[in-house]
Each structure stands twice: as C-alpha cells, then as structure tokens.
Amino acid sequence: MNAGSRLSAGSCAAAFVALAMGAPACAGPAKLSVDTTVRLGYDINPFLSPGSDLASGYVEATVAPKLTKRTEKGVVELSGHYERTEYLRRYGNSNQYGGELAVQQRVTPKLSIYGALRYDSEVIGQSDDIVTGAPIDDTDVNLIGLRRRADTYSVSGGWEYQVGPKDTLSANGGATATRYGSGPAGGDSDNIGGSVAWQHAISSRSKIGLSGSVYRIDYDTPGLSTMVMQPSVTFSTELSPTWHFDASLGMSFSDLTLPNARDESSKGLSGTVNLCHKGVKDNFCLYADRSVSGSGAGSTVERTQLGISYNRRLTEKLGFSANGSYARSKSQAGTIPTREYVSIRSGFDWQMTPRLKLGSEGRYRDVFGGRQIRADYGGDLYAILTLPRSQ
C-alpha cells in the first residue's frame, strides 16, 4: 500500500476507534451468541480447477461468535467466523476466517453516523457458500480455479443527515487493501474512495435523488492504477407493505494508467436494481449491478452481475431456499480474457428445536471463458447449533 493509502486508512481507523470508544453507555449488558455448523458433503470440482479426477468428499466445521452491545442511541457489534474444511482426498484441508467491528450511532435526532473495520481471509472459488446468503456470489471471476488465498483489510464509515422533512444528505468513504498469498505479482491492490448522495421524498412511499462516487485503485505493478467516477440518479419506492424497489442509473468514467504505455479512458453505463419482497412466510430478492472494480488478475474490470434469491417456510418447521447468480468480468485494458461465472443452489432445512437446525442442499457452478474448466456439481447435509445467548 502506498504512503497516501496508509495515511488515509490510518486516519479512518483512528476515527473509527474514537467513534466506538465514544459510544454512550447503554441500559443493557452486551450479549454473546455463537453459531456452530457441521457439514458433510461431496463436490465434483470443489475449487473449479482445470484437470480431471477432481471430485472429493469433505467434512466442514464453522464457528461464528457475535458480541452485541446496544445503547440508547445505537449498537456496537463484534463478530467473527472460523471455518475449516477437511477433504477426504486430493486437497488436504482449507481454512477461512475473518472478523468485523461495526458501530452505528444516532448523534442527534437528525444526524446518524456509522463505521466498520473488517478482515477476511478466503480461498477464492471454494464451494462453501450457503443458499440463504446474499443473491450475489461476489467472487473474483478471473481467479477462479487457481486456489489462491485472498486477504482483505477494510475500513469504512459515513453519516446521514436529515436536512428537512423531505430531504436527506449522506456521505461515506473507505479504504480496502487486498493481498494474495500465492501466485504471480501484480494482483495486490488498494482501493480508496467515497461517495455523496442526496435524496428527496416525492411522496410518503417514494424518493428520488442524486449520488456520485470517486475511487482510485492502485496495483502492486509499478505504474498501474485506475481512477473511477460514477455519477447517477437514484429512485426508491415502497410498492406495497411487503414489496420494495430501488434503483440507480448513471455513467462510469475510468482513467486507466498503464506502465510503459499510453493512458486509456473509457466510459459506460453503470447502475443497480434491487426488487425485494418480505412476507410472512416467504422472501424474494432480485438484484442487478454494473460497475467497475479491481481484479486480482492485475487489471481493472467492468463487472456485470445478476442475482436472485427465494426462501419460504413450507410448514412451521420446514423451509425451502434457492438462489442463483451470474457474473461477467471484462478487462478494460484487454489484458485478460472475458470470463463468466454461474452459480445455482437450493436446499431444505428443518428447525428441529429452537436452537438446532438440520438441512440439505445441492449446487451447480461453472465458469466460461479462458481455460476450459469442468463444472462443479455437489451437495451436503448440515447441522447448525445456536448456543444460548449470554444475558
């Protein structure tokens, strides 16, 4: 990370710690909860690697503690997770872990602030996502199949201010450093930026607004960097008591600085669409996004994503979940081939007791573009035990 990045990240971290330490005392004590998960499964190609004879069974255990402290004006939450997977052949074991400290505080009736410190370490492309997660599988498509470990360090924060009965101003900023423990140099990156936004209520259910974001991506390849600016128009509305829609549409302007070559500029459409339903027995969410981001392959890419998720309580104890996602990654400099990634998952769960859930799921994943890789088909049986909360 360059000197400017260290200064910005350090300043953000110092401000965040001050925010957390300055949180007012609350009426109640901190509460601790711990979820433990055990999975028994099988995958045709667990890491979407090239080659043949890649299948393996596995045993996986996860521990996820969470400590929550609520105040009269907000909440402080410290969470973590550790996951270990033992493969029965070929791959040995794999560990994934991370943690986050998050703070939300209402400073005045009109002003709210928030911040987060986060660290994650994961093996890219490992088939360990759960069907109840976000509709988008945010995987670096260009690194799937290489079994590379990514360590991500991030700090972020922001504020929201109610200017008047119908108008709101907000801003946020952050820094993210991504490091890879193996493979060729050129993929490590630092991303620093922020955004500002304004929203105006046009009715009791709908809001329109404007937003703009600016961020810079620096790679460990000398002379390689990207500056991105994304202005957009936003709209959100409550379609009904259970349906919500929000969207943004704008332009993305990128200035790409290349080593030993002439700088390049590009522009294109950017935006997001989010349609969600939250009912008594079922939840549904459709998500689409087009943006510019960094890749561990050492290039800035135009990333298009589409995701859908659905879950429903079939009975008081039996539930069904499914999701699917698609991602397309195209290099702005043309230095790496365009790749596409597809993931589909579905499963059932049984709430055996208030603290014990049993379940099963199946999945399909595949990558298109570049070197040909065999698709992954797999599934597992799992048990999730929630330990009693501390009082």
Query: Residue for token digits 């119908």?
Result: 166
Are 250 and 235 in contact by the 8 Å Cβ rule? The answer is no
173 has a pLDDT exceeding 90: yes
Task: Round to whole Å and give the CA distance between 341 and 368.
Answer: 6
Residue type, 31: K
Q: What is the DSSP letter of 60?
A: E
Ranking 44-53, 111-120, 182-191, 379-388 by mean pLDDT, the lowest is: 182-191
Q: Which domains does the chain have, with CATH numbers?
A: 3-387 (2.40.160)
Q: Which of 147, 117, 134 is nearest to 45 (CA)?
A: 147
User: What does the pLDDT read at residue 299?
Assistant: 64
345 has a pLDDT exceeding 70: yes
309 has a pLDDT exceeding 60: yes
pLDDT, tens digit, 9 for 90 and up, residues 57-70? 999 999 999 999 99
* Confidence label for 189 from pLDDT (cuts 50, 70 and 90): confident
User: What does the pLDDT read at residue 318?
Assistant: 97
Strand partners for 78: 67, 101
Query: Residue for token digits 């620096």?
Result: 218
Q: What's the whole-number mean pLDDT along residues 376-381?
A: 94
Task: Round to whole Å and give the CA distance between 274 and 258.
Answer: 35
Share of the chain above pLDDT 90, in %: 57
* pTM of the predicted protein model: 0.82
Q: Which of 202, 149, 139 is nearest to 329 (CA)?
A: 139
Rounded to whole angstroms, the maximal C-alpha distance in the chain is 64
Q: What is the mean pLDDT of the chain?
A: 85
198 has a pLDDT exceeding 50: yes
User: What does the pLDDT read at residue 44?
Assistant: 94
322 has a pLDDT exceeding 70: yes
Task: Round to whole Å and give the CA distance between 284 and 143.
Answer: 30
Residue of higher predicted confidence among 338 and 17: 338
* Confidence label for 269 from pLDDT (cuts 50, 70 and 90): confident
